[in-house]
């Protein structure tokens, strides 16, 4: 890692915060995975759930490349892609309105509406969910066919874990969805009582999820509203997960718990979700700049 200065902007979507580097104007970091580990450190770095590079694209207004706190690269982040769309509009790389962003799950279409000098409300077409076990992926022996959805199914990762749950009212059955990245959803009567710090990493790293998994616990408030908490793959507990909220919307419809349009309450705010009749999942939520700054590699407490 070199000692060159790197300019950045800190942004969040419903509390899901990342450090963003505008690579239209800044050089691409030589080791973005290593940079993510220390720049996202909340004690010795800028602090955040990871690092997002905003890059030129031959196929869209910009390309998003994201890295988690542990340096692992992820395909997509729903809250992150809203912030990327806000940044390319705010920095003049694309006009306000319809914007396309290239991600690890393909090119997504977004609508950016500015709500302030440093904020936007953004609607994202998240595409259609993947439901087959091989596409998520999840190793699941109870599937009735290669295209079968895994809905309210037994979960090997929770075997012998009942003593952890106390009075959270956990339903130990899982529903699995991919939004271009893997998600597993569990329902309970009180998400606040879920021991997320303990059970989150156990499920994330279980062998039944060969690419690890994002873990969500959901409390149904009504057919139109849920409350959720998340353990994100590679980042741990986060204030919001946009792809996760999208997966929760799908899971609620598949399991008959919620309708096709819901509000998802997350620790950092709320997100609006709609699983449309054409199969596409639409998410609407905020994108907010927090501050800009400059970091130097030698300020890291790593190494």
Catalytic residue numbers, as ranges: 77, 241
- Please provide residue 101's backbone torsions phi and psi, each rounded to the nearest 5 degrees: -130, 130
- Please provide residue 127's backbone torsions phi and psi, each rounded to the nearest 5 degrees: 80, -170
Cα gap 179→272, rounded to integer Å: 16
Is residue 207 within 8 Å of residue 198, measured between CB atoms?
no
Give all strands (DSSP E) within 83-239, no chain letters.
Answer: 97-103, 106-116, 119-125, 150-153, 171-178, 182-187, 214-222, 225-232, 236-238
Cα gap 97→102, rounded to integer Å: 16
Which residue, 93, 29, 32, 92, is CA-closest to 57? 93
How many CA atoms within 13 Å lie on the side-chain side of 60?
Answer: 22
Is residue 126 within 8 Å of residue 281, measured between CB atoms?
yes
Is residue 284 within 8 Å of residue 121, measured between CB atoms?
yes
The torsion of the CA quartet 51, 96, 102, 17, rounded to 10 degrees, works out to 20
Distances (CA, A) of 11 to 137, 159, 254: 30, 38, 33
Return the residue matching tokens 């741990």: 236
Distances (CA, A) of 122 to 43, 89, 150, 201, 277: 30, 11, 30, 31, 21
Non-local (6+) Cβ contacts of 36 within 8 A are 50, 51, 67, 68, 69, 71
């Amino acid at each position: 890692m070199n000692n060159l200065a790197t300019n950045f902007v800190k942004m969040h979507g419903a509390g899901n915060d990342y450090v963003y580097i505008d690579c239209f104007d800044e050089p691409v970091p030589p080791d973005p995975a290593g940079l993510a580990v220390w720049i996202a450190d909340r004690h010795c770095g800028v602090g955040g759930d990871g690092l997002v590079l905003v890059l030129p694209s031959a196929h869209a207004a910009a390309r998003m490349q994201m890295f988690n706190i542990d340096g692992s690269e992820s395909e997509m982040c729903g809250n992150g892609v809203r912030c990327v769309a806000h940044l390319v509009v705010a920095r003049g790389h694309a006009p306000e309105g319809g914007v396309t962003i290239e991600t690890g799950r393909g090119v997504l279409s977004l609508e950016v509406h500015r709500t302030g000098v440093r904020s936007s409300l953004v609607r994202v077409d998240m595409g259609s969910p993947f439901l087959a076990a091989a596409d998520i992926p999840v190793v699941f022996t109870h599937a009735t066919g290669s295209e079968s959805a895994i809905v309210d199914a037994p979960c090997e990762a929770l075997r012998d874990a009942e003593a952890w749950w106390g009075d959270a009212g956990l339903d130990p059955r899982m529903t699995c969805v991919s939004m271009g990245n893997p998600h597993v959803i569990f329902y309970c009567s009180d998400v606040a009582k879920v021991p997320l710090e303990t059970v989150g990493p156990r499920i994330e790293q279980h062998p039944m999820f060969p690419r690890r998994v994002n873990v969500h616990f959901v409390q149904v408030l009504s057919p139109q509203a849920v409350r959720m908490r998340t353990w994100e793959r590679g980042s741990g507990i986060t204030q919001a997960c946009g792809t996760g909220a999208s997966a929760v919307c799908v899971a609620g419809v598949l399991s008959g718990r919620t309708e096709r349009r819901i509000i998802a309450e997350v620790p950092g705010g709320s997100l609006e979700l709609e699983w449309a009749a054409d199969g596409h999942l639409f998410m609407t939520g905020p994108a907010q700049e927090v501050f800009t700054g400059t970091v130097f590699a030698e300020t890291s407490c790593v190494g």
